[in-house]
Structure 1
Amino acid sequence: MSLRSSVRSKALVAASAVSAAALTLAACTPSTDGGTEAEAQGAADATDVTLMLNWYPYGEHAPFYYGLEEGIFADHGINLKIEAGQGSTKTAQAVGADQVQFGWADTPAVLANIDKGVKIRSLGVFLQTTPSSVQVYTDSGIKEPADLAGKTIAVSAGDAPTTTFPLYLEAAGVPEDAVTQQNLDPAGKISAMLTDKVDGLIGFAHDQGPTIAAKSGRDITYLRYSDVGLNFYSNGLIASEGTIESDPDLVKEMVAATSEAFAAAAEDPDAAVASMEGKDPQMPAADVLTEQWKQTIDLLHTDATADEAPGVNAPEDWAATLDVLSSSGLIAEGTTADDYFDDSFAPAN
């Protein structure tokens, strides 16, 4: 090889090395948001997705914030935005109108809206044991359902816990007319209990209970519907029929990411709750959020799904849910899970 050829060959090798180093450096250079250029490119390639919650953020929602923080949704190609809701019915209707791609809503409200023609489908229920319960102060002397006789309980007409309350009383062997029901909105129920204007309230044990305990400094006793054998599905993920038809790959990734986020948050509850800090001005205090999320963990499975990933539903649980909700008049009779639930996106273990 001539001297000229040798020099040219070495120069090409050096140039290649410099180019490779430059590429490596670029991949590791921080972007303006604190990530790497590669991460920034990944975010640019991700699909913008809005999830509307059933209510203002509380402990149950920790997995979504934790999934964001840990990059679980990003790993599935999703740039997730979380939006507060104002009740499951409004969330269901917003999803049905394609105002947002996904919603997090109570199954009875979802099914009732489908019966009314709202074009949505359940993608999987995550809270598989109902949190519905009668909540009373532990020092009230109410220790079992029979003790509700002669008491006044705050309810919210039309919601699932209130509508199924007669079924709970029947299962518990308590005459319905033995309990006085005072109809109040969600905030009014909590206020009435805090001021001792009622003996208790009906609601979600993992929501109101920890809040009332923190504000009152008194312990709460929960008379759970599931304790008397009355169980039905609660909150889960929904999408519009349009989203499912137009972008099934996105739907599959969203379900998978949500399942992974719930599993990760259940493994590390404290870290999951910490990820919520500062995300919403109406969020409860950290200790309340922690209690809310820890209570939620107990609701994620039934005996039929004990070994499954979060969000995997069992046919027998759907059948039980439909039986309870049709018996209480919340949904039409004679329906099947296929009328409401798309099981083609079930997450893998």
Structure 2
Amino acid sequence: MTTCSMLPARHTARLARLLPAILMAATLATGPAWAQPTDDETQPQSSSMAEEAQPRASAQTSSAEATGGDSTSGGEQGAASDSGPKATETVVEVPSVIQGSPEPIEPPPTRELHVVLDWYPSPQHAALLIAKAHGELKRRGVSLTITTPADPSVPAKLVAAGRADLAVGREPQLHMLIDKGLPLVRVATLIDTPLSSLIVREDSDITDITDLAGKTLGYAFQDSINPVLATMLNHHGMTLNDVTLEKVEFAMVRALAEKRVDALIGAPRNVIPALLGQEGVPTRRFLPEEQGLPLHDGLILIANRDHLSAKRDDIDHLLAGLEEATNWMINYPDEAWDLLIDQEPSLDSDANRQAWEASLRRMAPSPAALNVNRYATFETFLNKKAFIDDSTPVKRIAVDPSSS
């Protein structure tokens, strides 16, 4: 420079040494505000500030590693970030604990079981009614629907047609229907002693089976005629031609009370006498097992043999519930009666209370259990007496699902 050349040599050398410092000072004085160091940056950090800086340094290091940057020097990282305006990062917070109530646990899927009674609800159906009321079946995932038939002769036929899962029936009925080709099978026993009876008014002149000659007998079930009545008459040298038959269905009590019939055949011995007594009509009875008919199960559950495998699990649950209900009824008869009339208020009468006591002592304690010899003996009897055309193996007549 011209000015420098005009100065003495010693001054020129000194100015050359000071020039870089002068230029640096000018740059710092005129630079942007964001480039100026803050007081915090020029002061040593306190111990607390240093502790706070450590997480930030770790975060910066992680960020540098994630982006492939050099994280070896915290100062270099800071210098790089200070080279321009600071960017604002959006941080999404992820909760470590789920807030709010948990999702409800879905109950197991419910399967429907439809049972058709053989009669209007009565104390002899208590095992089914109380098993449903206890709620044990629902806990097992089974919803039990119980219906009353319009005609007492149709329940088993509904099961054979696939329109119901189970029907309440009688062992003699089962043998006869299987012989006709219906795909039916016994899966449980509710009452394991005969229930059917022949009932007459106490003021009647019928004191012996032979006195039935020329009389009118009311009935509800076809199997009450063959094999029950036919066997009783044959036992005394008579036939069905010696009597007149009238189908009265559910009106048994009224038919005998009003003397529209002289006797009732197939009347449940544990229920009908009590109901007639309530109407002021005392009765006498004749028992089929004392008139030539083999012992048999009085009340059973009938399933469709072709559909049994698909329903086996649900039927197993039902049988477990029936066994628990029966055991509870035997142990607590008064509480069981209260629950029964709570479920079926129409049963709350002195006559049904009397029928309840007569029914309870006949309940099968283990509904699934099968008396193979009993079914074999009855089938042989029917075949020998020509009530059925062919003899069917017991395994196609009755099963214990729990042992299969």
- TM more than 0.5: yes
Q: Answer yes or no: is 1:83 the counterpart of 2:147.
A: yes
Aligned residue number for residue 155 of structure 1: 218
Equivalent position of 1:180 in the other structure:
243
Larger Cα Rg: Structure 1 or Structure 2? 2
Measure how far apart 1:144 and its partner are. 4.8
Contact 1:210 1:292 in 2 (8 A): yes
Deviation at 1:253, TM superposition (A): 1.5
- Secondary structure of 2:199's counterpart equals strand
Q: Quick check: 1:223 aligned with 2:286?
A: yes
Write out per-residue CA displacement over residues 197-232 of structure 1, whole angstroms, 9 at most, x where no aligned residue: 4332112212432222212x1322221112345233
Larger RCO: Structure 1 or Structure 2 (Cα < 8 Å, ≥ 6 residues apart)? 1
What is the root-mean-square deviation of aligned Cα atoms in Å? Answer: 3.5
Shift of 1:54: 1.5
Tell me which of 352, 358, 377 is aligned to 1:289. 352
Gaps of 5+ in 2: 1-96
| 1:341 counterpart residue number | 398
Q: Return the letter of the residue paired with 1:321.
A: F
Q: Indicate how the Cα distance of structure 1 residues 329 and 99 shifts in structure 2: closer, same or farther if over 3 A, else same.
A: same
2:296 maps to 232
Question: 176, 181, 197: which one pairs with 1:117?
Answer: 181
Tell me if 1:136 matches 2:185. no
Q: Secondary structure at the match of 1:51?
A: strand
Q: Indicate yes or no: 2:164 matched with 1:100.
A: yes
- Give, in whole Å, the separation in 1 of the partners of 2:174 and 2:360: 22
Taking structure 1 as reference, are residues 157 and 97 closer, same or farther at Cα in structure 2, changes over 3 Å only? closer
What residue identity is the alignment partner of 1:214? Q
Aligned pairs for 1:35-46 within 5 A: 45-46=109-110
Residues 122 and 218 of structure 1: CA distance in aligned 2, closer, same or farther (over 3 Å): same
Equivalent pair of 1:129/1:226 in contact (CA under 8 Å): no
Pair 102,263 (structure 1): closer, same or farther in 2 beyond 3 Å:
same
Q: What is the Cα deviation at residue 256 of structure 1?
A: 2.2
1:191-340 to 2 correspondences below 5 Å:
191-203=254-266, 204-215=268-279, 217-228=280-291, 230=293, 231-277=295-341, 279=343, 283-300=346-363, 309-327=366-384, 329-340=386-397
TM, length-normalised to structure 2 = 0.64
The separation in 2 between residues aligned to 1:221 and 1:45, in whole angstroms, is: 51
| Residue aligned with 1:99, SS | coil
AA partner of residue 143 (structure 2)? N
Amino acid at match of 2:178: I
- Whether contact under 8 Å (1:210, 1:288) holds in the other structure is yes
Distance in 2 (alpha carbons) for counterparts of 1:52 and 1:131: 18
Alignment TM-score, normalising by the size of structure 1: 0.73
Structure 2 letter corresponding to 1:315? V
Tell me which amino acid in the other structure corresponds to 1:67. A
Structure 2 CA distance for partners of 1:188 and 1:49, relative to 1, 3 Å: closer
Amino acid paired to 2:157: Q
**Cα distance in 2 for residues equivalent to 1:200 and 1:45:** 50
Matched, 1:68 2:125: no
How many angstroms apart in 2 are the aligned matches of 1:314 and 1:264?
A: 23
Q: Distance in 1 between matches of 2:389 and 2:330?
A: 35
Q: Deviation of residue 89 (structure 1)?
A: 4.3
The residue matched to 1:125 in structure 2 has which SS? strand
Give the Å deviation of 1:153.
4.3
For the 8 Å contact 2:370–2:398, the answer to whether it is kept is no
Q: CA, structure 1 residues 227+139, in 2 after alignment: closer, same or farther (shift >3 Å)?
A: same
The structure-2 alpha-carbon separation of the partners of 1:157 and 1:221, relative to structure 1 and needing over 3 Å to count, comes to closer
Aligned residues: 305
Displacement of 1:123 in angstroms is 0.6
CA positional deviation for 1:194:
0.7
CA distance in 2, matches of 1:243, 1:82: 19
Indicate the residue corresponding to 2:122 in structure 1.
Answer: 58
